[in-house]
Amino acid sequence: MYDARISSLQAAVPALQVLTDPTDLAHYGVDWTRRWTPAPLAIALPADVAQVQAVMRWAHAQGVAVVPSGGRTGLSGGAVAANGELVLSLQRMNKVLGFDAVDRLLTVQAGAALETVHEAARTHGLQYPVDFAARGSCTIGGNIATNAGGIRVVRYGNTREWVAGVKLVTGTGELLDLNRGLVKNSSGYDLRHLAVASEGTLGVIVEATLRLAEPAPATRVMLLALPSFDVLMQVFQALRERLGLEAFEFFTDRALHHVVAHGAQPPFDTAYPFYVVAEFASEGEAGEVALLSAFEHCVEQGWVEDGVISHGDTQAAQLWRLREGITESLAPYVPYKNDVSVRVSAMPAFLAETQALLAAEYPQFDVVWFGHIGDGNLHINVLKPEAMANPDFVIECERVTKLLAATLERHGGSISAEHGIGLVKKPYLRSTRSDAEIAVMRGIKAALDPAGILNPGKLFDP
Ligand code: FAD
Ligand code: MLT
Ligand code: ZN
């Protein structure tokens, strides 16, 4: 249906590329959650910062809701446009703008893919250490807006650690150039960090200046088979003490089942209940000796029942596929995702309680556990039984997520470790944030987006 607001937008920003074809609306209106029916007003594809500003000035004046959009790999519904919003996609603003060797800073447009940043860093003999399976499709803007974590947080931290500067277009079209790559800057509030985990509700990230790290060391990957959940954190501590830990991830037999059904090679002849994929800095013979001795220690303690240590990049990639392929292998089931965190020290008690809770509440569901256990971050995915209608499934899962949120509250945890609150976890925000905190968050939003047009209904209700 023709909407006069589209011609008004085109008149206000004549050079802007605008898509209104139903196929495009369906394509750009969803993220990986696939839970909402896409219904955007139109898709705006700005070519530069000036166009983003012009779109935001227009949207502010017209009171049109805008959904900032990156690679739409988000898992919390943050980039969903299901209520006639204008999707503002950064897809065309995807270039590397420059590198400074003295500062070790890389400046990119926000629509650059994470993988583009990895490649640019490598070209300069350095690394950008935030990494996860969506690297080819997710964008730096989306990574900053969700404070993306991934598989190397245990060693390098979240996206937040690597953001040295952000250019942000506010809800009124103002361009803020935040921190400008400075290492030290105590000149008041660090507004750059407001952009991190803002989920498109405070501004459109148009450019980022990213810190790069020393090149990654030579590493080896280990796959371990564990008899129980109880020993997981003991293995983590033992390996962290003995080896240079670069990653420490876990998954269950159900996760392995789905990845293998999706084409991965089964690693062992026998099935075990739990697995760890870990990566370690390891060079030469001394590295090999340290790896073997740490592995033997875990076996002697009865914590590990079997294991594989990678020899070469191909085998390392095969082992990683068992962990990194989980999300894709579960996608056809449109799983209900929980992405929770507690302090690492609280993990054993939280795990025991959560396991008992889920066994009691989800006996009929296929529940798949995996995640970044070394960061205290668990992904608990519930798959819909074939015979169950989708609305019933969601109601059932939300009931259990409420119980999970209450458990997290007791353990001082968070209902979203790294995926964001978006639409999916909005009802549970108060399990993690106090009313006073949420009031401050609303105040910050009002300052940057006085008309409330930036991603309304995400994170909290307008
Ligand atoms: P989108 O999905 O497009 O958007 C996400 C949010 O950011 C939305 O609220 C959107 O409005 C906002 N946004 C996007 N771009 C901008 C911008 N330029 N300015 C302002 N706001 C913006 N996440 C992890 O943290 N760790 C993982 O290990 C991980 N693994 C994944 C594996 C797979 C296979 C998949 C599909 C997803 C995974 N994710 C993971 C989730 C997802 O990839 C991340 O949340 C990622 O940061 C989203 O980036 P995006 O560009 O796709 O953002
Ligand atoms: C992961 O760790 O694989 C991601 O966060 C994606 C997911 O939770 O499915
Ligand atoms: Zn994750």
Residue 75 confidence (pLDDT): 98
CATH of domain 334-422: 3.30.70.2740
For the stretch 204-244, pLDDT in tens is 999 999 999 999 999 999 999 999 988 999 999 999 999 99
β-bridge pairing 105-109 and 204-211: antiparallel
ipTM score: 0.99
End-to-end, the C-alpha distance of the chain in Å comes to 27
Query: In the CATH scheme, what architecture does the domain 219-327 have?
Result: 2-Layer Sandwich (3.30)
Residue among 146, 194, 321, 323 to mutate when testing ligand 1 (max atoms within 8 A of CB):
146
Interaxial angle between packed helices 284-300 and 232-242, expressed in degrees from 0 to 180 and rounded to the nearest 10: 150
What is the Å distance from ligand 3's center to 365 Cα? 21
State both tokens at 50: 């000036």
Percent of the chain with pLDDT over 70: 100
Nearest to 343 by CA among 411, 429, 249, 437: 411
For the stretch 352-391, pLDDT in tens is 999 999 999 888 899 999 999 999 999 999 998 888 888 8
State both tokens at 142: 């989306």
Residues of the chain with pLDDT under 50: none
Interaxial angle between packed helices 4-12 and 49-62, expressed in degrees from 0 to 180 and rounded to the nearest 10: 140
What is the Å distance from ligand 3's center to 331 Cα? 14
Nearest to 167 by CA among 159, 179, 185: 179
CA dihedral of residues 169, 170, 175, 176 (deg, nearest 10): -100
What is the Å distance from ligand 1's center to 418 Cα? 9
Contact 198, 420 (CB under 8 A): no
Residue among 27, 73, 324 to mutate when testing ligand 1 (max atoms within 8 A of CB):
73
Going by CA atoms, what residue is nearest to atom 8 of ligand 2? 379
Whether residue 325 has its Cβ less than 6 Å from ligand 1: no
Residue 386 confidence (pLDDT): 87
Pocket of ligand 2 (CB under 6 A): 75, 133, 326-327, 337, 339, 371, 379
Where are any strands of DSSP class E within 117-198? Answer: 163-169, 175-178
What is the Å distance from ligand 1's center to 143 Cα? 5
Nearest ligand to the C-alpha atom of residue 199: 1
Domain ranges of the chain: 1-216+429-462, 219-327, 334-422
For the stretch 29-61, pLDDT in tens is 999 999 999 999 999 999 999 999 999 999 999
Q: Which runs of consecutive H residues, i.e. helices, occur in 366-434? A: 390-410
Domains 1-216+429-462 and 334-422 share a fold: no
Residues 6+ apart with CB under 8 A from 2: none
Looking from the CA of residue 324, the nearest atom of ligand 2 is: 3
Residues 6+ apart with CB under 8 A from 313: none
231: how many CB neighbours lie within 10 A of its CB? Answer: 21
What is the Å distance from ligand 2's center to 379 Cα? 7
Classify 75 as helix, strand or coil. coil
β-bridge pairing 66-69 and 86-89: parallel
DSSP 63: T
Residue 1 confidence (pLDDT): 57
Separation of alpha carbons 146 and 132, rounded Å: 13
CA distances from 209 to 45, 170, 293, 416, 437 (A): 22, 18, 41, 25, 28
Nearest to 254 by CA among 189, 328, 330: 330
Residue 174 confidence (pLDDT): 98
What is the Å distance from ligand 2's center to 10 Cα? 38
CATH of domain 1-216+429-462: 3.30.465.10
Task: Read off the pTM.
Answer: 0.98
Residue 362 confidence (pLDDT): 85
- H-run or E-run covering 247: strand 244-252
Q: Which runs of consecutive H residues, i.e. helices, occur in 208-276? A: 232-242, 253-261
